[in-house]
Amino acid sequence: MKRKLLGMFAVSAIAGAMGSAFAQDAAPTLTAAEKEAAKKIYFERCAGCHGVLRKGATGKNLEPHWTKTDKAGAKTEGGTLKLGQARLEKIIAYGTDGGMVNFDDILTKEEIALMSKYIQNTPDVPPEYSFKETMDSWKVIIPVKDRPTKQMNKFNLKNMFSVTLRDTGEVALIDGDTKDIRSIVKTGYAVHISRLSKSGRYVYVIGRDGRLSLIDLWMEKPAVVAELKIGFDARSVDTSKFKGYDDKYAIAGSYWPPQYVIMDGDTLKPLKVVSTRGMTVDGEYHPEPRVASIVSSEIKPEWVVNIKETGQILLVDYSDIKNLKTTTIESAKFLHDGGWDASKRYFLVAANASNKIAAVDTKLGKLAALIDTAKIPHPGRGANFMHPKFGPVWATGHLGADVVTLISTPSDKKEHAKYKEYNWKVVQEMKHVPGNLFVKTHPKSKHFWADAPQNPDKDLAESVAVWNMSDLSKPVKVINVAKDSGLPPTKATKRAVHPEYSADGKEVWISLWGGKTDQSAIVVYDDATLAVKKVITDPKMITPTGKFNVYNTQHDIY
């Protein structure tokens, strides 16, 4: 049975904002109520991979020209077999070898039939979202002048974790030293990531519904001090980290509409909205090029903004926002997540449906390399370490292959000159299992961790593998995190997801992402002994997924 990461999509405001126009052609008809229900399911489960306009990205194109047919065996002009109702129902229920996940245990038979009809109809085009609407959504809850001028609590903020509670639309701020929940903050729906301001004072949290929340960690009880709706559907945010721009600006990327918003760092006041529509690397116009990962350079006043559908990587210079200068770097489709190499000069990003990693040289503003990898690389932010034979490497896991890929990265250090011949080559593929989403290590650790939450096997999805970096031939241990948690067994898989280190690099936190109504947990391991140190199982701990240690996120340590 395949699992369903790729189908976990936002309950997006788009669903509500969608128009109701349908071009019926010869497609199956739906009542108004059926359309509404199908629209909601599409945005919750399908849009993340297939796109709002169904042009396809990580998932296949789902436009009527090939979903719709009334006769068996009908072909498109290009000769591809059209899908039609019966075939669509099978694909949605059981998935495909191409990576489509099965929905037979999430959707009822009736819902599967409904979705099969829905996607044979012409997609609705959701509304745009202007600068004025962005501005109208802006709320300053506590103005800067009323905020503390120094840290008012006694928490060790460096070791605070901002934890996504996916299905409750909240983040928990958990004290890494005591493991106590210091605050639970209401945020946007199914928060995707938390990022830190350069000073480490502010946490920026982006919901899938486009709601961006700014949390002030200096308050006695950290709370949201400003909010902005940056679009209808979003995944990424970062801040200005170049010297002299500390906490000055923030940028957030939107899936729909395809654009990014630049704002003031301490109030979220919107300053500029920039569309990402344009040509793909193949020279085709794309109406929905979504903003995937964004990262902030520390060597230039620039953000690296990765545009999924076009395969273009933008270096956005924020030194003069009124006269915005952007370098557009061609790479490959469809860009997703990525992270810095150890020197923080190169940014490596997955072009996941092309099975490639693109490396950008942010110093020269050029593509440094386009590296072929195994199927569907998914690095999260990746992981950097010294390979015993090949020197500095950056690692990515794979959703679609049973390996972790190690890529040699350049280094200016004299003692690393001997590794130059390996640079930008895949130097090793460590044997793992498919369905990996995140890998992690820490400069002070000898261990390398990889999860496998999307593996079809329940045991593997509930486990993580750990390697000792002196011998990467096989894991030193495969840890069943669900068993270690002591939680009662459940029918729903408790996916072990997203290893994250404590600030001192001595602990590894793993989320157990259970069913919506099941008790979930975070299991904390001692990185040296690999023994459980603590299981955080507060009843409020519902569907924890991403965890962002303040210090490590602030300084891009991974």
Q: Provide the binding-site residues for ligand DHE, judged by CB under 6 A.
A: 5-6, 8-10, 48, 164, 166, 190, 192-193, 235-236, 292-294, 336-337, 380-381, 437, 497-498, 545-546
Q: How far is the CB of 8 from ligand DHE (least distance, A)?
A: 4
Nearest residue to ligand DHE on Cβ basis: 48
Least gap, CB of 196 to ligand DHE (angstroms): 11
Q: Which residue stretches of 107-239 are H helix?
A: 109-118, 131-136
Ranges of H-type helices in 291-340: none
Query: Which residues is 254 bridged to in the sheet?
Result: 234, 259
Find the catalytic residue in 50, 398, 432, 442.
50
Give min distance, CB of 309 to ligand DHE, in A.
12
Active site residue 398: no
378 in active site = yes
Complex with ligand DHE: residue 10 or 250, whichever CB lies closer: 10
- 8 or 27: whose CB is closer to ligand DHE? 8
Our CB check for ligand DHE shows the closer of 502 and 545 to be 545
Please identify, using beta-carbon distances, which residue of 82 and 498 lies nearer to ligand DHE: 498
**In whole angstroms, how far apart are CA 101 and each of 38, 48, 366, 456?**
18, 13, 36, 10
> Residue 180: which region, alpha, beta or left (left: phi > 0; alpha: psi -120 to 50)?
beta
Residue 521 CB, shortest distance to ligand DHE, in Å, is 16
Measured torsion, CA atoms of residues 104, 109, 113, 116, in degrees rounded to the nearest 10: -10
Catalytic residue among 8, 18, 100, 430: 100
Per-residue DSSP letters for 400-442? Answer: SSSEEEEEE-----GGGGGGGGGTTSEEEEEE--S----EE--
Q: What are phi and psi of 97, to 5 degrees?
A: -70, -20
Of the residues 192, 286, 378, 498, only one is catalytic, namely 378
Candidate list 336, 442, 447, 498, residue with the active-site label? 336
How near is the Cβ of 243 to ligand DHE at its closest, in Å?
Answer: 22
Counting every residue written for the chain, the total comes to 558
Residue 15, H or E segment: helix 13-17
Quick count: other Cβ atoms within 10 Å of Cβ 40? Answer: 15
What is the C-alpha end-to-end distance of the chain, expressed in Å?
Answer: 32
Instruction: State in angstroms the smallest separation of the CB of 306 from ligand DHE.
Output: 8
Minimum separation from the CB atom of position 132 to ligand DHE (A): 26
Spatial neighbors of 99 by CB under 8 A, at least 6 apart, are 6, 58, 59, 376, 399, 400
Q: How many helices (H) and strands (E) does the chain have?
A: 10, 35
The minimum distance between CB 461 and ligand DHE, in angstroms, equals 12
Rounded CA Rg of the chain: 23
| 298 CB-contact burial (10 Å; exposed 0-12 / middle 13-18 / buried 19+) | middle
Annotation says 336 is catalytic:
yes
**Rounded to an integer, what distance in angstroms lies between the CA atom of residue 156 and that of residue 167?**
28
- Decide whether 207 or 222 has the Cβ nearer to ligand DHE: 207
The residues that bridge with 547 in the sheet, in sequence order, are: 163
211/235 with CB nearer ligand DHE: 235
Q: Which one from 49, 115, 160, 430 is the annotated catalytic residue?
A: 49
Give phi and psi for 408, each to the nearest 5.
Answer: -70, 135
Nearer to ligand DHE among residue 148 and residue 456 (C-beta): 456
Phi first, then psi, for residue 20 (nearest 5°) are -110, 5
Q: Is 46 a catalytic residue?
A: yes
The tokens describing 421, both together, are 């011949």
Smaller CB separation from ligand DHE, 5 or 374: 5
Q: Which of 8, 18, 46, 541 is catalytic?
A: 46
Minimum separation from the CB atom of position 294 to ligand DHE (A): 5
Token readout for 204 is: 């920026």
The residues that are catalytic are: 46, 49-50, 100, 336, 378
